[in-house]
């Protein structure tokens, strides 16, 4: 019998619920899109100009596969400025997008039969990055209330097995908007130290903060430079640069060489002229970050007013990122509800089931778009809930 040209576990992978709902409707201009994790703001001029200049200057050649020297230096200066940290240069790779940085970390950590514990609800692509390493996921859901989402540390401890290689945590969180406190980070790191497990911390929303300190607390601030702690980050979410595909990974100092090899094999480095735009973003972006954050804060309050007050909705106030993750009373099939909202009222939402176990009564809404359009979308959703 002829063998299929695909690994059986890869053949089993399914599209995420976000893609399932958006396929076929994502180019319909009548749909108000709250399903993807991005704003409708075009990347600011000063960032685009820097990339255009690099292109005009002929920056069209290979550069270091770990990131151009200029961007690497800018990322290190940025960490010095926002966290007061002097990081060793060898710990950093810029393979391309933040998603690719996650993939590099997973490839570094996981082999066939290993496990990664995901703190949920979690962005579904992470589970797929684990699966393509031949590894399995376990999930531990955050405590949902009272008042806020919070880490269930005893449940995390109970879920660790001899196969667990790492715990993945994302804060500020997609989809809940939870921000992990510094105390929660310390407690999780202590547990992982005791159990010999690595941490993969996804901090891509670190500047999308409404509650507490900006930037959000980082594992880089508490972990030693040679500890098995991998921090991924990138420009997509704070600077409205989703189409640029730029992110980075900071890993243990002693793994500088394997990380460099991974970066080389994944993409041989990110697009060179795009990296010039990233330098401008990191060095001149504070004003834009504050303006965007304020828009999202206003929108967050609008979501809380319109949806949070609805009798069928339980919604914990997002502390960061730009998503609301309401639980809708009486719903058992979030995909059907998202389909109804799309077909009856032309609003694109993401079904909760795709964010891990225990979320099938939820929807995820991205609230980073223009405020009047968001208001219109929320009112249409309420019409469906009232029907
Ligand atoms: C939690 C999380 N991590 C990583 C990413 C990937 O970011 P990028 O678009 O920079 O690859 C996303 C994007 O939605 C995300 O929500």
Does residue 233's CB lie within 6 angstroms of at least one atom of ligand 1?
Answer: no
Residue 198 lies in a domain: yes
Backbone angles phi, psi at 366, to 5 degrees: -90, 125
* Average pLDDT of the chain, as a whole number: 97
2 located within any domain: no
Mutate-to-test residue for ligand 1 from 237, 246, 270, 281, highest number of ligand atoms within 8 A of CB:
237
**Is residue 1 in some structural domain?**
no
Whether residue 162 has a cis bond before it, omega within 30° of 0: no
What per-residue confidence (pLDDT) applies to 54?
Answer: 98
What are 387's two structure tokens? 């029907």
Tell whether 236 and 346 lie within a shared domain.
Answer: no
Where in the sequence is the domain holding 365, given as residue range(s)? 8-43+287-386
Three-state SS letters, 190-219: HHHHHHCCEEEEECCCCCCECCCCCCCCCH
- For residue range 251-310, what is the model confidence (pLDDT) as tens digits? 999 999 999 999 999 999 999 999 999 999 999 999 999 999 999 999 999 999 999 999
The 3-state DSSP class for residue 167 equals: strand
Residue of 18, 34, 37, 248 with the most ligand 1 atoms within 8 Å of its CB, for mutation:
37
Quick one: pLDDT at residue 262?
96
324 within some domain? yes
Residue 264: burial class (beta carbons within 10 Å; 0-12, 13-18, 19+): middle
Looking at residues 326-338, what average pLDDT do you find?
97
Assess whether 242 and 308 both reside in one domain. Answer: no
In this prediction, residues 161-184 reach a mean pLDDT of: 98
Name the nearest CA neighbour of 323 among 383, 239, 237.
237
Q: For residue 245, give the ligand 1 atom closest to its CA.
A: 10
Total of domains in the chain: 2
Q: In the predicted model, is pLDDT for residue 99 greater than 80?
A: yes
Q: Are residues 85 and 112 in the same domain?
A: yes
Among 253, 284, 315, residue at a domain's last position: 284
Give dist(CA 60, CA 51) in Å, integer: 11
DSSP 8-state symbol, 89: G
Q: pLDDT band for position 1 (50/70/90)?
A: confident
CB atoms within 10 A of CB 85: 15
Place of tokens 């995420």: 16
Q: 94: burial class by Cβ within 10 Å (0-12, 13-18, 19+)? A: buried
pLDDT per residue as tens digits for the range 116-133: 999 999 999 999 999 999
Ligand 1 mean position, distance from CA 311 (Å): 32
Residue 3: the pLDDT is: 84
- Residue 39 shares a structural domain with residue 50: no
> Burial letters for 194-203: b for 16+ Cβ neighbours within 10 Å, e otherwise?
eeebbbbbbb
Strand order in the sheet with 363-366: 323-324, 363-366, 350-351
Binding site membership of 175 for ligand 1 (Cβ less than 6 Å): no
Specify whether the backbone of 58 is left (phi greater than 0), alpha (psi in -120 to 50) or beta: left
Q: Decide if 262 contacts 108 (C-beta within 8 A).
A: yes
Confidence band (pLDDT; 50, 70, 90) for 146? very high
Nearest atom in ligand 1 to 235's CA: 10
238 lines ligand 1 (CB under 6 A): no
**Rounded to the nearest whole angstrom, what is the distance from the C-alpha of residue 242 to the centroid of ligand 1?**
9
Domain boundary, last residue among 222, 251, 284: 284
Please tell me the predicted confidence (pLDDT) of residue 278: 98
How confident is the model over 49-85, as pLDDT tens digits? 999 999 999 999 999 999 999 999 999 999 999 999 9
Pocket of ligand 1 contains residue 98 by CB under 6 Å: yes
The answer to whether position 365 is within a domain reads yes
In degrees and rounded to multiples of 5, residue 118 shows phi and psi of -100, 130
Helix (H) or strand (E) holding 269: none
pTM of the predicted structure, to 2 decimals: 0.98
What's the CATH number where 307 sits?
Answer: 3.90.1150.10
**Residue 218 falls inside a structural domain:** yes
Does residue 105 sit within a domain?
yes
Per-residue confidence (pLDDT) for residue 32, from 0 to 100: 97
Atom of ligand 1 lying closest to residue 236 CA: 10
Atom of ligand 1 nearest to the CA of 38: 14
Q: Is the CB–ligand 1 distance for residue 203 below 6 Å? A: no
pLDDT over 90 (residue 387): no
Q: Whose CA is nearest to atom 8 of ligand 1?
A: 98
16 in contact with ligand 1, CB cutoff 6 A:
no
- Strands (DSSP E) contained in the chain are 32-33, 92-96, 115-120, 136-141, 143-144, 149-150, 164-170, 198-202, 229-234, 247-250, 313-314, 323-324, 327-328, 347-348, 350-351, 363-366
Distances (CA, A) of 359 to 81, 144, 156, 318, 333: 38, 11, 18, 16, 9
DSSP H or E segment with residue 271: none
Question: Residue 240, by phi and psi: left (phi above 0), alpha (psi -120 to 50) or beta?
Answer: left
Do 303 and 367 contact (CB within 8 A), yes or no? yes
So what's the pLDDT on residue 285?
98
Give the residue, out of 103, 234, 249, with the most ligand 1 atoms within 8 A of its beta carbon, to mutate for a pocket test.
234
Distance 99 CA to ligand 1 centre (A): 6
Q: 40 falls in which pLDDT band (50, 70, 90)?
A: very high
pLDDT for position 308? 96
pLDDT at 34: 98
In a shared domain, residues 111 and 246:
yes
Beta bridge partners of 141: 120
Residue 3 falls within a domain, yes or no?
A: no
Is the distance from the beta carbon of residue 234 to the nearest atom of ligand 1 less than 6 Å? yes
């Amino acid at each position: 019998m002829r063998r299929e040209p695909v690994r059986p576990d890869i053949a089993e992978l399914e599209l995420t619920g976000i893609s399932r709902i958006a396929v076929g409707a994502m180019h319909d201009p009548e749909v108000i899109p709250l399903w993807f994790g991005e704003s409708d703001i075009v990347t600011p001029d000063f960032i685009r100009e820097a990339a255009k200049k690099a292109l005009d200057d002929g920056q069209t050649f290979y550069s270091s596969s770990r990131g151009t020297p200029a961007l690497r230096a800018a990322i290190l200066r940025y960490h010095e400025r926002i966290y007061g940290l002097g990081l060793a240069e060898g710990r950093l790779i810029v393979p391309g997008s933040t998603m690719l940085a996650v993939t590099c970390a997973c490839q570094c950590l996981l082999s066939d039969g290993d496990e990664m514990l995901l703190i949920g609800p979690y962005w579904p692509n992470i589970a797929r990055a684990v699966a393509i390493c031949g590894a399995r996921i376990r999930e531990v859901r955050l405590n949902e209330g009272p008042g806020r989402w919070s880490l269930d540390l005893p449940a995390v401890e109970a879920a660790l097995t001899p196969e667990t290689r790492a715990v993945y945590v994302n804060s500020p969180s997609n989809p809940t908007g939870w921000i992990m406190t510094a105390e929660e980070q310390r407690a999780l790191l202590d547990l992982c130290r005791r159990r010999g497990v690595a941490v993969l911390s996804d901090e891509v929303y670190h500047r999308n903060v409404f509650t507490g300190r900006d930037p959000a607390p980082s594992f880089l601030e508490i972990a030693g430079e040679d500890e098995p702690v991998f921090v991924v980050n990138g420009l997509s979410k704070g600077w409205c640069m989703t189409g640029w595909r730029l992110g980075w990974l900071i890993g243990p100092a002693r793994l500088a060489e394997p990380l460099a090899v991974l970066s080389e094999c994944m993409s041989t480095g990110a697009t060179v002229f795009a990296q010039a735009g990233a330098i401008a973003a990191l060095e001149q972006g504070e004003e834009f970050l504050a303006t965007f954050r304020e828009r999202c804060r206003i929108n967050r309050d609008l979501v809380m007013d319109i949806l949070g007050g609805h009798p069928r909705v339980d919604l914990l106030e997002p502390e960061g990122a730009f998503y609301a993750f309401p639980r809708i009373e009486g719903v058992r099939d979030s995909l059907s509800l998202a389909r109804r909202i799309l077909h009856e009222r032309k609003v694109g939402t993401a079904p909760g089931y795709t964010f891990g176990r225990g979320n099938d009564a939820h929807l995820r809404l991205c609230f980073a778009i223009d405020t009047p359009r968001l208001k219109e979308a929320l009112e249409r959703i309420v019409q469906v809930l009232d029907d």
